[in-house]
Structure 1
Amino acid sequence: MSSNDYIKYVTQQVVKYMDTPKEQRQQEKEIKKETRTPFWFKWFGVLPISIMLWVKKRKAKRKRKI
C-alpha cells in the first residue's frame, strides 16, 4: 500500500465522519457498544459464562425455596 493510498483512505474516513450528523454517530456508537461481547468473555472464553449461569441458577433456586 503506497502512502498516497493511505492518505486517500484516511481522508475519505475523515470526510465520512464529518458528514454524518452527531446524533447518528452517537446512535451507532451505542449500538456498537451493546453488541460488543463483554471483556471477560472475550479474554477468558466460556468459563466465565458457565460460572455466571451457574450462579444465576443457584440464586434463582434459593429465591424459590424462601
Structure 2
Amino acid sequence: MKSEEYVRFLTEQFVRYMETPRDQRKKVRQEQKANRPPLRNLLFGQIPDAIEDYTVKIRKRIKK
C-alpha cells in the first residue's frame, strides 16, 4: 500500500467518524465495552474459570 493510499484511507475513516453523531459513537463504545471479556480472562485465559469451577465442586462436596 502506497503512502498516498494510506493517507486517503485514514482521512476517509476520520471523516466517517466525525460525521456520525456523538451520541451514536458513545453508544457504540458502550456496546463494545459491554461485549468485552473480563480482564482476568484476557490476562490468564481459561485458568481462572477452571479454578473457580474446581473450588465450587470442592465446596459442594464439603457441604454434603
Taking structure 2 as the reference length, the TM-score comes to 0.76
Taking structure 1 as the reference length, the TM-score comes to 0.74
Q: When the two structures are aligned, how many residues end up with a matched partner?
A: 60
Matches for 1:27-42 after TM superposition, within 5 Å = 27-42=27-42
Q: Tell me the distance in 2 between the aligned counterparts of 1:34 and 1:48.
A: 20
Over the matched positions of the two proteins, sequence identity in percent amounts to 36
Q: After superposition, what is the alpha-carbon deviation per residue over 1:19-62, rounded to whole angstroms, capped at 9, x for unaligned?
A: 0000000000000001011221012111112234456x47xx6x
Q: Which runs of 5+ in 2 are unaligned?
A: none
Q: Which runs of 5+ in 1 are unaligned?
A: none
